[in-house]
């Protein structure tokens, strides 16, 4: 993966999203000003528009930079469950009469029914299913006077956005269809309810900008993801000789296969050699699982942040497919790869040779200690690996001993066993105390020091 291209894509996407949010915010303010609605309606409208703005800034890349297409529909279903819960929690105290309570109950039941209906429906039709059910609901609420025009416009904008974001193909075409159908509803309502001209024009502009902007961001993210997939797919096909269909299947099934193999093996979690042998035997499945993981938006963002810490001679301890260490080598760092000598390591070596990079490949702690005796490291990375290894204190102390004075160690906090990842070991170690007692100093930003911020990665410096 070309991380320079990923960085440019994400940066340009953020700039575009900020511009779209600014224009949408201005149009939303004009719509509210022209509606002459109650304070309660204006507040409700503002909350809906703010939620769409947040989603507009974040969601398209997150949903589309992945090999898992089902993720989009699952995301929307989760969002809609939350919408239904929020409607009940916020709407019931605000309802002023029995018809209002009845309308709220019917609307919530409608959203729940749409969620249940969408589960068995083909993913290709999920966008249309959600949009048609939402459009019908908003039309009913407006025509029967259960919500004002301003709140109705907000609901249309939100529904349009959610439908477009999960669109699987031709998001521009679908966003146009959504805009036209929403505008026709507004036109019918205008003929019946006689909106103020300023309100109708501002609401139309808001729909066009928000829906069109979402369509463009989704189109852009799909193009980026297609390029990422093509490169990753070609590499795996060339290395394994597998057909594209088999690679895609292994992308989606490798995690489940690893979990099943782990449970069947029933290993002693303290037997380091048995664990290493299991990982060698299952390294092909890991190769596919890591490849799929590295195509995900969150992982791309995480890797970009991690790469900023690279300085001097770098070691990736548990390097897998070599994603981080190969990029560091491309950037000119003396680079060392360390992992068990399995299929994923051979794949990393293949990728290294294909790119013409200079990386040392090591597969035993003895060889690593010998290499560090000749030249210690300035940066040690250990990402998504320590939860797989026994004796966490020993691992951390060993890694710290490989560093030069002033050297930096960056690693993940072991997550422990989960249902989908039973191979993660449950380490009960106070990492900060362990390393600070040995003279290392932790680097944390002001944000990371806040008590409610969840720690994902530790960064320590050798004093």
Interval 346-399: pLDDT, tens:
999 999 999 999 999 999 999 999 999 999 999 999 999 999 999 999 999 999
Average pLDDT value over all residues in the chain: 90
**Residue 382: left if φ>0, alpha if ψ -120 to 50, beta else—which one?**
beta
pLDDT at residue 118, rounded to an integer: 78
- What secondary structure does DSSP assign to 290-301, as a single string? HHHHHTSHHHHH
pLDDT at residue 421, rounded to an integer: 87
Interval 28-56: pLDDT, tens:
999 999 988 888 889 889 989 999 999 98
DSSP-based helix, strand, coil % in the chain, nearest 5: 70, 10, 25
- Percentage, residues of the chain above pLDDT 90: 65
| Residue 374 in tokens | 């000749």
Let me know the angle formed at the C-alpha of 91 by 87 and 93, rounded to the nearest 5 degrees: 140
pLDDT at residue 24, rounded to an integer: 94
Interacting residues of 403 by C-beta distance below 8 A, sequence separation 6+: 376, 377, 378, 380, 409, 462
Query: What integer is the mean pLDDT of 302-309?
Result: 94
Interacting residues of 194 by C-beta distance below 8 A, sequence separation 6+: none
pLDDT-based confidence at residue 416 (cuts at 50, 70, 90): confident
pLDDT at residue 417, rounded to an integer: 85
Let me know the angle formed at the C-alpha of 68 by 169 and 246, rounded to the nearest 5 degrees: 100
Residue with tokens 């004002």: 148
pTM: predicted TM-score of the whole model, two decimal places? 0.88
pLDDT at residue 450, rounded to an integer: 57
Interval 257-291: pLDDT, tens:
999 999 999 999 889 999 999 999 999 999 999 99
Interval 315-330: pLDDT, tens:
999 999 999 999 999 9
- What secondary structure does DSSP assign to 105-173, as a single string? HHHHHHHHHHHHHHTTS-GGGHHHHHHHHHHHHHHHHHHTTSS-HHHHHHHHHHHHHHHHHT--S-HHH
Do 329 and 354 meet the contact criterion of CB atoms below 8 Å apart?
no
pLDDT at residue 446, rounded to an integer: 62
- Cα-Cα-Cα-Cα torsion 57, 60, 62, 68, nearest 10 degrees, comes to 170
Give CA–CA dist 113/122, Å, rounded: 16
What separation in angstroms does the CA of 258 have from each of 214, 412, 419? 37, 21, 12
Look at residues 65, 28, 32 and name the one whose alpha carbon lies nearest to residue 161.
Answer: 28
pLDDT at residue 447, rounded to an integer: 57
pLDDT at residue 463, rounded to an integer: 84
Largest CA distance in the chain: 83
pLDDT at residue 37, rounded to an integer: 82
pLDDT at residue 147, rounded to an integer: 81
pLDDT at residue 427, rounded to an integer: 85
Collapsing DSSP states into helix, strand and coil, what is residue 289?
Answer: helix
Half-sphere exposure (Cβ direction) of 449: Cα atoms closer than 13 Å: 5
Interacting residues of 166 by C-beta distance below 8 A, sequence separation 6+: 63, 72, 73, 75, 76, 126, 127, 130
pLDDT at residue 95, rounded to an integer: 63
pLDDT at residue 429, rounded to an integer: 86
**Is 335's pLDDT higher than 90?**
yes
pLDDT at residue 117, rounded to an integer: 81
| Residue 290 in tokens | 């890591």
pLDDT-based confidence at residue 94 (cuts at 50, 70, 90): low
């Amino acid at each position: 993966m070309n991380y320079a291209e990923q960085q440019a894509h994400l940066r340009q996407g953020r700039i575009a999203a900020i511009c779209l949010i600014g224009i949408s915010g201005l149009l939303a303010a004009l719509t509210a000003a022209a509606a002459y609605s109650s304070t309660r309606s204006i507040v409700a409208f503002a909350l809906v528009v703010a939620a769409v703005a947040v989603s507009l800034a974040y969601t398209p890349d997150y949903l589309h930079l992945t090999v898992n297409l089902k993720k989009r529909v699952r995301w929307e279903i989760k969002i809609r469950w939350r919408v239904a819960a929020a409607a009940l929690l916020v709407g019931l105290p605000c309802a002023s009469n029995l018809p209002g309570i009845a309308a709220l109950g019917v609307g919530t039941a409608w959203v729940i029914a749409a969620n249940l209906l969408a589960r068995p429906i083909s993913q290709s039709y999920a966008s249309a299913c959600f949009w048609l059910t939402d459009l019908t609901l908003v039309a009913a609420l407006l025509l029967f006077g259960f919500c004002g025009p301003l709140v109705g416009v907000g609901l249309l904008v939100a529904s349009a956005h959610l439908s477009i974001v999960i669109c699987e193909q031709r998001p521009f075409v679908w966003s146009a269809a959504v805009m036209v159908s929403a505008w026709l509803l507004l036109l019918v309502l205008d003929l019946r309810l006689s909106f103020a001209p300023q309100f109708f024009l501002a609401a139309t502009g808001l729909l066009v900008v928000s829906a069109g902007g979402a369509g463009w961001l989704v189109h852009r993210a799909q193009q980026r993801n297609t390029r990422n997939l093509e490169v990753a797919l070609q590499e795996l096909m060339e290395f394994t000789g597998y057909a594209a269909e088999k690679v895609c299947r292994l992308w989606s099934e490798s995690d489940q296969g690893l979990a099943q193999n782990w449970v069947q093996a029933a290993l002693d979690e303290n037997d380091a050699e048995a664990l290493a042998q299991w990982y060698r035997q299952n390294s092909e499945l890991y190769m596919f699982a890591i490849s799929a993981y590295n195509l995900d938006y969150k992982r791309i963002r995480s890797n970009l942040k991690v790469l900023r810490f690279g300085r001097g001679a770098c070691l990736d301890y548990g390097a897998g497919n070599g994603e981080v260490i190969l990029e560091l080598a491309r950037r000119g760092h003396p680079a060392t790869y360390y992992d068990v000598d399995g299929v994923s390591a051979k794949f990393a070596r293949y990728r290294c040779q294909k790119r013409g990079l200079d990386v040392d490949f090591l597969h035993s702690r003895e060889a690593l200690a010998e290499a560090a005796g000749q030249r210690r490291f300035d940066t040690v990375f250990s990402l998504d690996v320590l939860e797989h290894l026994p004796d966490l204190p020993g691992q951390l102390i060993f890694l710290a001993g490989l560093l030069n004075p002033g050297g930096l160690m960056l690693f993940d906090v072991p997550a422990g066993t989960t249902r989908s990842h039973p191979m993660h070991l449950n380490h009960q170690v106070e990492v900060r105390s362990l390393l600070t007692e040995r003279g290392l100093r932790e680097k944390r930003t002001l944000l990371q020091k806040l008590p409610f911020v969840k720690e994902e990665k530790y960064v320590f410096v050798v004093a």
